[in-house]
Structure 1
Amino acid sequence: MTRLAVFDCDGTLVDSQVNIIRAMTESFARVGVAAPDPHRIRQVVGLSLFETMATLLPDAEVDLQTRLADEYRNAYHRLRAEGSLVVEPLYPGIRDGLVELADRGWLLGVATGKSDRGLALILAHHDIAHHFVTLQTADRHPSKPHPAMLELAMAQAGAEPADTVMIGDTSFDMLMGIAAGARAIGVDWGYHAPDELTAAGAETVVGDMPALLALLA
């Protein structure tokens, strides 16, 4: 039996809200539209960029939503080049938790709304890329909660849905896990409240990495 644990990235492995809100604010300013408040921005973290903009501005023309997605990419790359982005720290216990799961025989993966480049950079920065056997990003899949990311992760790892768990901080992660037939476990240290995760179908919501490790024992 192959056991696979797939983690979301933003809000689950790393706390990236400062950089996301900064780039989002700049992208909206570039098109002359008032940026949403930070809480609203945190609520859409995990969606693909176009889906993010369509959710934030549902009544806007598609051209504007597309332009905002492009402006966000440009703003993020520009802020990175300028050295203006802050380090996206790992949440407490993540590094040791990944090692322990791997030692127990779990295969590990990531399914994220980040780009390939963005994910590669953050995993390399924290020197944790070697823990993961499958990396799925918004560059190659429909936006969460579509199950495509998780389905390909399972195919690459050789894992069945019944032996796979999706771990994330948003309702999008929970819905994706359920749509793929996997277990869905929420974490309460990210960007959606525990009751939102439960409403989306989370099996349970854990408060720290030791609790997650106990659940996956």
Structure 2
Amino acid sequence: MARQQFDLIVFDWDGTLMDSTAHITRSIQAACRDLSVPVPTDEAASYVIGLGLRDALAIAAPSLDPHDYPRLAERYRHHFLLTGVETVLFEGVRELLEELRDRGYLLAVATGKSRVGLNRALDEVQLTRFFDGTRCADETFSKPHPAMLQELTRELGQDLGRTLMIGDTTHDLQMAINAGAAGVAVAYGAHPVDALTALAPRFVAENVPALRHWLREYA
């Protein structure tokens, strides 16, 4: 099947490929509780998912002295990495990636996770081999700055006009807009559908099978 629009497909990680939104939200809230700062609501905590950790915690805990950001980050990592918490992919993700690879697309990840965190997650679920490139928030500018997409396309020799960004947050979609790439949203992650549709993505997928069908037909 000939490709119609895109050569490079870039995925967000948390809330798009990995079912981790609730765990991240609870970890942010627990970290704030540890430092006795106001605990953000579920909506406020999930809003920052996808940003770099420092940016995310600064928004989630606006009353915290910036000197204490490292302490808050340490407590967040403590709760996120608690023993017994698994890295769980959304159902159908592995099959989706296998199909896209078989069809000849280049695949990449652009995430707010740290390099250590992404490498750990990729290794746990054995997905490293699927991706031609990855960018993390501790290596470059955080979303929605376009740097992640700009750097990935340069590294892989691709055109931003033939690059598709897929994510569950407005940060992902705004990054795509800022970079001049196309965006597709998934509605099963951190941000509400109305916020996603306000940024006019090419498609909003209710689940992984719907995303797979759209990519098969239109990507």
The answer, yes or no, to whether TM exceeds 0.5 is yes
Secondary structure of 1:216's aligned partner: helix
Superposed CA offset, 1:95-148 (max 9, x none): 100000111111100000111111111111111110000011011011110111
Shift of 1:76: 3.6
**Which one of 61, 64, 69 corresponds to residue 73 of structure 2?**
69
Shift of 1:65: 3.9
State the alpha-carbon separation in 1 of the partners of residues 87 and 188 from structure 2.
Answer: 14
Task: Find the counterpart in structure 1 of residue 197 from structure 2.
Answer: 198
Residue 15 of structure 2 aligns with an amino acid whose one-letter code is G
Superposed CA offset, 1:64-89 (max 9, x none): 44542343234445x2xxx14x2131
Q: TM-score, normalised by structure 2?
A: 0.88
State the alpha-carbon separation in 1 of the partners of residues 138 and 18 from structure 2.
Answer: 19
Shift of 1:60: 4.0
> How many aligned residue pairs are there?
212
The answer to whether the 8 Å contact 2:29/2:45 transfers is no
Task: Find the counterpart in structure 1 of residue 14 from structure 2.
Answer: 10
Question: Is 1:40 aligned with 2:39?
Answer: no
List aligned pairs for 1:112-131, cutoff 5 A. Answer: 112-131=111-130
Secondary structure of 2:23's aligned partner: helix
151-160 or 103-112, which deviates more: 151-160
The answer to whether the 8 Å contact 1:175/1:201 transfers is no
Identity %: 39
Secondary structure of 2:184's aligned partner: strand
The answer to whether the 8 Å contact 2:37/2:61 transfers is no
List aligned pairs for 1:90-109, cutoff 5 A. Answer: 90-109=89-108
List aligned pairs for 1:169-180, cutoff 5 A. Answer: 169-180=168-179
State the alpha-carbon separation in 2 of the partners of residues 67 and 14 from structure 1.
Answer: 26
Q: TM-score, normalised by structure 1?
A: 0.89
The answer to whether the 8 Å contact 1:186/1:206 transfers is yes
Superposed CA offset, 1:32-77 (max 9, x none): 2132122321111111111112212335432244542343234445
Over 3 Å counting, the alpha-carbon distance change for 1:21 and 1:208 in structure 2 is: closer
Aligned-residue CA RMSD (Å): 1.9
Shift of 1:30: 2.6
Give the 4+ runs in structure 1 shifted more than 4 A.
none
State the alpha-carbon separation in 1 of the partners of residues 201 and 57 from structure 2.
Answer: 26
State the alpha-carbon separation in 2 of the partners of residues 150 and 201 from structure 1.
Answer: 19
Over 3 Å counting, the alpha-carbon distance change for 1:59 and 1:23 in structure 2 is: closer
State the alpha-carbon separation in 2 of the partners of residues 100 and 155 from structure 1.
Answer: 24
Task: Find the counterpart in structure 1 of residue 210 from structure 2.
Answer: 211
Secondary structure of 1:110's aligned partner: strand
